[in-house]
Structure 1
Amino acid sequence: MDMGKPSFEAEFSEILLCKNELHETLNNLSHWMKDEHVDKNLVTKLDSAFIRKDPYGVVLIIAPWNYPIHLLLVPLIGAIAAGNCVIAKPSEMTKNTERLVAEALPKYLDKDCFAVVTAGVEETTQLLENKFDFIFFTGSPAVGKIIMTAAAKHLTPVTLELGGKNPCYVSDTCEVQNVARRVAWGRFFNAGQTCVAPDYVLCSLEMQEKLLPALSKAITEFYGPNPQESPSFGRIVGDKQFRRVQALLRSGRVAMGGQTDERERYIAPTVLVDLQPSDPIMKEEIFGPILPIVTVANVEEAIEFINSRERPLAVYAFSSEDKVVNQVLERTSSGGFCGNDTLMHVTLTSLPFGGIGNSGLGKYHGKFTFDTFSHQRGCLHRSMGLEALNALRYPPYSHQKLGIVRAASEVKRKGSCTLL
């Protein structure tokens, strides 16, 4: 309702994925929260050694506007499951969703333990001056640095779910129309306002010539001859964001699309070609329905291009040859990876979701969410008796005592360590 998001996309990305997270947590919480017993050495054989899952305490969750339900409730589910109290701050950009969350959540959650704070930038800055036990933030790397700086004053641990420019390599050996559909879906879903959307395509000039008509066909299949009239295509969230994305259309040459309507905050599904790495659109996360294509000679050059930039939230690689997909996987670094598709790795609660370097810090989804909001407390519970066994470690020390203590405490090597 705030972004003209198609109901299918809202149901799939906001409702279904939240329900999956909830059901996964409810199905497994009794197992996740149990003490985890660990291996012991000879000295502690008769004792109890275990990991206790403790809550951090009071957690602050700051959600963004692009998936305002999903990116607030999914971390909230894990924070509650781990036993924390939570202050949840929805995005002020999506006013209707902010109001819905502020009105609805207190009806279902204990008001002594959970609160929704509606705040803009100024109030959020004040909020961050308080000491929290954990902060979970989703947003841009620039704001992530502000959050981390505020957290550092109180030595508060953080999870930062940030963004970046996610590369998508398309090799010369692939089923072009399938690639076009999967890339177009991932790029234009939610009008491109997705942190894991493929941000730009890397391919050879020959593949670009095949990909352009295939992308044109896919866009028409998805949204008809005029995407502005399609109920399956969303809008840019706000005027400021619209103007920023519109300005990026000046980079390179428009191969298809390019139409805009400021009144509706509509930007057509657009493909750009003839780009330089120095163009504005190649320097910032697009967060809109624009797909630039950058030509490279081969997979080697594509990998080199990816590795010359900040580590992204996702890397995508398309090829009919598994060895090419694996080559991109093995020789790049990113938060997540998906071969021969886009976005779909995020739908699995069994996979950790998070960034690396500039694209974030920490991970969540499923058990990873519970673990993120739990302090893993190492515990050893010993017997009050058997003091004769302890006497070996007490002064006065001797070489004989040291020999016995070493033999009883050391970890034995089982054999040679073979790499690869």
Structure 2
Amino acid sequence: MSKDIEKTISDLRKTFYSGKTKTYDFRRAQLNGLLQFVTENERQILDILSKENRKPKFESCISEISHMKTEINEALTNLKSWMQPTKPRKHISYILDKVEIHSQPYGVVLIIGPWNYPFDLVISPLIGAIAAGNCAVVKPSEITPACAKFLEDTLPNYIDSSCYVVYNGGVAETTKLLEQKFDYIFYTGSTAVGKIIYKAAAKHLTPTTLELGGKSPVYLDDSADVELAAARIMWGKCWNSGQSCVEPDYLLCSEYMKDKFVKAAKKKIQEWYGEKMKQNADFCRIINQNHFKRLTKLLEGSTIVLGGHTDPADLYIEPTIVANVKTTDPIMEEEIFGPILPIITVETPEAAIEFINNREKPLALYVFSTSKIEQNKFLDGTYSGGICINDVLMHYSCSALPFGGVGASGIGTYHGVYSFDTFSHKRAALIKSLDRFGEFTQSVRYPPYTENKLKIINLVTMNIPGMDFVMSNATLPLLLVIFALLYFMYFKF
């Protein structure tokens, strides 16, 4: 495509204001186009992910192909109902009027995707942007150039290129993009870059969703089933070689549980990958040399109790557990984003909660416990984008739940209806009644101002529990009686 981004955005804005993207039929057709793109190109997508990201086919099918299809089909199923105005319960002051909330598209939106799930984390927000009726510029990650090139070349064959544009490039092109005025920006990536995106958005007061990351902790309670916990926690660490924004970053547990966990984790790793793990195709590789060097540097001087083998030529880092970790160690100062799990010992749930709350709010929090009391302590006493009890990662794929961070781990949510809501401005609409009785009830606000009029207004605007429900379900004759009583109570105001 042309690198004249100013003209591209100008053309997209003209298309948006033509109303082309706003109809139900158009939105549905574009969503069907996205579904066709995923379905017809499934093999090519899997091949690209295998070559560029070294992902096992199984992981790519679930985390990319299946998730994209699920999100698109949910949008297609619910689009008509999502587009309908909602009618909130209204105060008795507006009982004769229509009170509605209309979901309006923002306009021209920018979607910046990451490298770790280079198809799903571009398509997933695009589903919401299309469903909500926007035009969009999509910027895939330059770290996965084959994925980005495939999106640029292929996606326009399935959705309207006058409304949706794939814009490729590196840091310079992204910087140029961020100088433009968009109506909404959706970014997935690191907290450091998220701050740059947010600063650029502030120049135009552009609303922004930031899907970031951070250090998502796991608490392993003494009551937990350690075999099950080890399987699920290590699965989360090994999935995509730990290169997920919701990967379990570090483990908090008692000294009593630490040795049990390491033993159970070792058993699971051997069971899954065998003696020659490096030759096992079910384990992903690190994305590039820069990330490999960053991760191996974090291991320097560490007490490794499981794994630790690396191969820079193959970008291979074995699933690794590190013990005797101090809070000041480098591994605890940044998001790991790799198959390395530090263990920090805490002797009580309260100590774990204090440890978590003394740090930035994480994107995800994981708790393994069979005690409802201990589970509730973390549900009520901690703060995170999401929380998952007795599992890891799985809340991400539940479209009934909003997904997103809080504080340093992100701003805003998406998935399912929450994607539609993210890319929609909730426009308030009040349609006033013009009939004579309606005007009679409204005339109390007109001059001359009197004490009796003020009494009526104060009475009507009182928040009486249950009165809104009664008034919302009242018939017109009942309303006439109520207002007539008010009228005569204060004798013509």
TM-score range normalised by the length of the shorter chain: over 0.9
Equivalent residue for 1:382? 432
More divergent stretch after superposition (42-51 vs 385-394) = 385-394
Equivalent residue for 1:174? 224
- Give the Cα–Cα distance (whole angstroms) in 2 for the partners of residues 340 and 41 of structure 1: 43
Q: 1:398 aligns with which of 447, 450, 463?
A: 450
Please tell me whether the aligned partners of residues 362 and 372 of structure 1 are also in contact (alpha carbons under 8 angstroms).
yes
Give the C-alpha shift of residue 148 in structure 1: 0.7
Please tell me whether the aligned partners of residues 54 and 374 of structure 1 are also in contact (alpha carbons under 8 angstroms).
yes
Question: So what's the TM-score if we normalise by structure 1?
Answer: 0.96
Q: Which amino acid aligns with 1:401?
A: K
Q: Structure 1 regions of 5+ residues with no counterpart?
A: 416-420
- Give the Cα–Cα distance (whole angstroms) in 1 for the partners of residues 217 and 313 of structure 2: 31
- Give the Cα–Cα distance (whole angstroms) in 2 for the partners of residues 47 and 285 of structure 1: 52
1:201 to 1:251, Cα distance in 2 relative to 1, 3 A: farther
Q: 1:350 aligns with which of 392, 400, 408?
A: 400
Equivalent residue for 1:117? 167
Higher Cα radius of gyration: 2
Q: Which amino acid aligns with 1:413?
A: P
Equivalent residue for 1:24? 74
Give the C-alpha shift of residue 223 in structure 1: 1.5
Please tell me whether the aligned partners of residues 252 and 276 of structure 1 are also in contact (alpha carbons under 8 angstroms).
no
Q: Secondary structure of the residue that 1:36 maps to in structure 2?
A: coil
- Give the Cα–Cα distance (whole angstroms) in 2 for the partners of residues 40 and 331 of structure 1: 34
Q: Which amino acid aligns with 2:162?
A: D
Give the C-alpha shift of residue 252 in structure 1: 2.5
Equivalent residue for 2:124? 74
More divergent stretch after superposition (217-226 vs 69-78) = 217-226
- Give the Cα–Cα distance (whole angstroms) in 2 for the partners of residues 153 and 410 of structure 1: 42
Give the C-alpha shift of residue 228 in structure 1: 1.1
Q: Secondary structure of the residue that 1:384 maps to in structure 2?
A: coil
Tell me if 1:140 matches 2:183.
no
Tell me if 1:150 matches 2:205.
no
Equivalent residue for 1:222? 272
- Give the Cα–Cα distance (whole angstroms) in 1 for the partners of residues 138 and 274 of structure 2: 39
Q: Which amino acid aligns with 1:35?
A: P
Give the C-alpha shift of residue 322 in structure 1: 2.4
Give the C-alpha shift of residue 37 in structure 1: 1.3
RMSD between superposed Cα atoms in Å: 1.3
Tell me if 1:412 matches 2:464.
yes
Equivalent residue for 1:418? none
Give the C-alpha shift of residue 404 in structure 1: 2.0
Calculate percent identity across the aligned residue pairs: 50
Q: Secondary structure of the residue that 2:404 maps to in structure 1?
A: coil
Q: Secondary structure of the residue that 2:464 maps to in structure 1?
A: coil
Equivalent residue for 1:273? 323
Report runs of 4+ in structure 1 exceeding 6 Å deviation.
none
- Give the Cα–Cα distance (whole angstroms) in 2 for the partners of residues 392 and 147 of structure 1: 50
Tell me if 1:370 matches 2:420.
yes
Give the C-alpha shift of residue 39 in structure 1: 2.2
Q: Deviations over 1:145-166 (max 9, x none)?
A: 1111111110100001110101
Give the C-alpha shift of residue 258 in structure 1: 1.0
Q: How many residues align?
A: 415
- Give the Cα–Cα distance (whole angstroms) in 2 for the partners of residues 369 and 314 of structure 1: 19
- Give the Cα–Cα distance (whole angstroms) in 1 for the partners of residues 140 and 192 of structure 2: 18
- Give the Cα–Cα distance (whole angstroms) in 2 for the partners of residues 286 and 321 of structure 1: 29
Please tell me whether the aligned partners of residues 312 and 359 of structure 1 are also in contact (alpha carbons under 8 angstroms).
yes
Give the C-alpha shift of residue 197 in structure 1: 0.6
Q: 1:12 aligns with which of 62, 65, 90?
A: 62
Give the C-alpha shift of residue 106 in structure 1: 0.6
Q: Which amino acid aligns with 1:281?
A: I
Q: Deviations over 1:238-267 (max 9, x none)?
A: 111111111111152111211111111111
Give the C-alpha shift of residue 414 in structure 1: 4.7
- Give the Cα–Cα distance (whole angstroms) in 2 for the partners of residues 175 and 71 of structure 1: 33
- Give the Cα–Cα distance (whole angstroms) in 1 for the partners of residues 146 and 368 of structure 2: 38
Tell me if 1:60 matches 2:110.
yes
Q: Which amino acid aligns with 1:393?
A: R
- Give the Cα–Cα distance (whole angstroms) in 2 for the partners of residues 259 and 253 of structure 1: 13
Give the C-alpha shift of residue 18 in structure 1: 1.1
- Give the Cα–Cα distance (whole angstroms) in 1 for the partners of residues 252 and 163 of structure 2: 48
Q: Secondary structure of the residue that 2:104 maps to in structure 1?
A: strand
Tell me if 1:340 matches 2:390.
yes
